[in-house]
Amino acid sequence: MSTYEEEKKENLAAYERLKDEIDARYIGQYVAIANGSLVKICPSFDEASESVRGYRHALVFPAGEEPIVGLLRVRAYGAGLLFE
């Protein structure tokens, strides 16, 4: 089982691998990366966040911008929390 830090490194490596494609194809949309791969491209932040809800670490960011790594917002989702 991988740790949070290992998943974060995998996700950042996936971002670096996919950055040029994301910037070329998905401007104006939100990108969700988890488990070391692209999970979903969505028109809204909320939809992209929901698509990676069950992952320990994920990146959700607007295409064309660098993902910010760290706690930005905490939103309650039922009994759990989603860290954005």
pTM of the model: 0.81
On the 0-12 / 13-18 / 19+ scale of CB atoms within 10 A, 77 is exposed
Decide: 35 and 6 in contact? Cβ < 8 Å: no
pLDDT at 66 over 80: yes
Count of CA atoms in the C-beta half-sphere (13 A) of 21: 9
pLDDT one-digit tens code per residue, 12-56: 999 999 999 999 999 999 999 999 999 999 999 999 999 999 898
